[in-house]
Amino acid sequence: MTETGIEKKEKGFFATVERLGNKMPHPAILFIYLTIIILILSWALSMAGLSAVHPSTGEDVSVVNLISVEGLNIFLVDFVNNFQAFPILGVVVVFAAITAICEKTGFLSNVIKLSIAKVDGAMVVFFLAFVSVVSKMAGDICQILMPILGAALFYQIGRHPLAGAFCAYAGSSAGFATCLIPSSTEVINTGITITCAQVLDPDFTMPVLASYYGLLVNCFVISIITTIVTIKFVEPRLGTYKGTPEGGADTKDMEVTAEERSAIKKAGISVLIYIAALILICLPQNSFMRAEDGSLLYNSTLMSSITVLVGLLFFIPGVVYGISVKKIRKGEDIIALMTEGVRDMAGFIAMAIIIGQFLVVFSTSNIGTLLGIKGGEALSASNMPLWLIVILFVLIVSLINILISSKSTKYLILGPVFVPMLMQLNIHPAFTQWLYNMGDGMTNHITPLDVVFVMLLATCQKYDKKVGMGTMFTYLIPYSVWYFVILVTIAVIWFLLGIDVGIGGPVWLS
């Protein structure tokens, strides 16, 4: 391996994966190609007379030819409406603006630093893994921040810094298969799931927390797996670190000033006050947060407004912290921070213009509906055990994840096919969403096409210039293997027992 670790051309399976992945187009271009493919398929399949009986309505469903006046109107007349109707556009923009206050003021990163700075000994690995997993609520930034903090922490306590980087990176990447505190990820995925399910059942809906129980269990299971793999495999193979970090021993990565500590306390108090106030509002049996039958979980205002409530959980402490550290001095500063957050999402918003057209074309063509119906019928006729289908679905998602790093992009492609297909097998979309999250989290950290993977390489080379892509794969793959073995086992057991996967999220559709 060369001194830089990246100039040498690696050979083998992962090099092949990287070369193939590098040839894939930008996600926006990919959706343009997919739109063109759907248009061509709509013409060909409509000419072939492909149809099926809708399982819910009993009506015949056939492919609509979109190489026609109707198809032309989608682009000429409804182009802007298609973009505005993009299912998760509003949620993404709102959460980007709200969470930016926590991120840009440094609140989230400093909370993470404090949570692991006082831990030492063997427990440090578990705490690093756990904090990395739950840091998912901070968004993609956690995959950049946590390896830096993990490496610095391990170096300071005499453990190998690369073990800290790998532990934190695997944990923060797999964290997208978990949920301790609901975040934008759950809101976005639920929106996609509902849209996909409505292909078969136009009236379908489910709460944001429909897969929460499963995601919560994943949170602790993944933390434990990450800890064991780090201690039993990664650290023994790395041995004792005898080098010196580039630029000397860097303790600044872990430093939190007295002013920042005080600000975090104030922000924490604001969170407690907010939660206490919310509880007090919900307690009365006639609370406006309850449903007509008094329930807080089903058909209630509380569950319907969970997006706003979660947003406030980030907004309030972010503002309090920002004021305390003087990064927010006036109202205009809040708007400026929110603007920065939205600006960071400019690429996604531009993609939404294109993806919005694809979703309308795909839905109008009825190809997704027919794929779901025909696919479900084929799976039913195959007599394949449902538990095996569960395993195969998770495996498919985890493998595709290596080539398509964007989490929402992947689900927007797979969801319209697999959600209706599994509904045909009486599997509830909430359980399908949980399985998707599992498959996504298992291989996020071995996706060479993700920009954060390059950032991990830079972090590792700060401690060892000889580290290259092959080195990282060697130490990261065991995490994926054990994630798959343990999580799939849990999923199958859960499936066989038929336990609800979340609030309003049963395993079976009926």
Note the pLDDT of residue 481: 93
Report if residue 126 sits inside a domain. yes
Q: What tens-digit pLDDT sequence spans the chain (510 residues)?
A: 333 333 444 455 555 544 554 565 666 787 888 889 989 999 999 998 888 776 655 678 788 899 988 888 888 888 898 888 776 677 778 877 887 888 788 887 787 777 766 666 678 899 889 988 987 766 666 777 788 778 877 887 778 989 999 999 999 989 888 988 777 678 788 888 998 898 888 889 898 889 999 999 999 999 999 999 999 999 998 888 887 776 554 545 567 888 988 999 999 999 999 999 999 999 998 899 988 888 776 677 887 787 788 778 888 999 999 999 999 998 899 999 999 888 877 777 887 888 888 888 887 888 877 776 776 667 667 778 989 989 988 988 888 777 565 556 678 777 888 898 899 889 999 999 999 999 988 988 887 656 577 678 878 888 888 887 777 888 898 999 999 999 999 999 999 999 999 988 999 988
Report if residue 56 sits inside a domain. no
Element housing 139 (H / E): none
Q: How far apart are CA 200 and CA 217, in angstroms?
A: 30
Torsion-angle region of 245 (φ positive above 0: left; ψ -120 to 50: alpha; else: beta)? beta
Q: How many structural domains is the chain composed of? A: 1
- State the residue for tokens 């939190």: 256
Note the pLDDT of residue 4: 36
Note the pLDDT of residue 451: 58
Beta bridge partners of 502: 505
Report if residue 45 sits inside a domain. no
Pinpoint the alpha helices (H) of 25-68: 27-48
Note the pLDDT of residue 374: 74
Element housing 506 (H / E): none
The string of DSSP codes covering 104-132 is HTTHHHHHHHHHHHT--TTHHHHHHHHHH
- 3-state SS class at 256: coil
Report if residue 51 sits inside a domain. no
182: tokens are: 């609901």
With beta carbons less than 8 A apart as the criterion, state whether 358 and 293 touch. no
Note the pLDDT of residue 117: 64
With beta carbons less than 8 A apart as the criterion, state whether 484 and 435 touch. no
| Dihedral angle, C-alpha 135, 141, 145, 147, nearest 10 ° | 80
Pinpoint the alpha helices (H) of 385-468: 386-403, 407-423, 429-443, 451-463
Query: Which positions ≥6 away from 313 have C-beta within 8 Å?
Result: 181, 271, 274
Note the pLDDT of residue 6: 36
Report if residue 76 sits inside a domain. no
Note the pLDDT of residue 55: 60
Q: How far apart are CA 148 and CA 162, in angstroms?
A: 10
Report if residue 417 sits inside a domain. yes
Note the pLDDT of residue 196: 87
How many beta carbons lie within 10 A of that of residue 272, not counting itself?
A: 10
Report if residue 477 sits inside a domain. yes
Q: How far apart are CA 250 and CA 506, in angstroms?
A: 49
Report if residue 72 sits inside a domain. no
Q: What is the DSSP secondary structure assignment for residue 508, as one 8-state letter? A: B
SS3 content of the chain, % helix, strand, coil (to 5): 70, 0, 30
With beta carbons less than 8 A apart as the criterion, state whether 207 and 502 touch. yes
For 132, the domain range is 13-38+83-497
Threshold 0.75, pTM exceeds = no
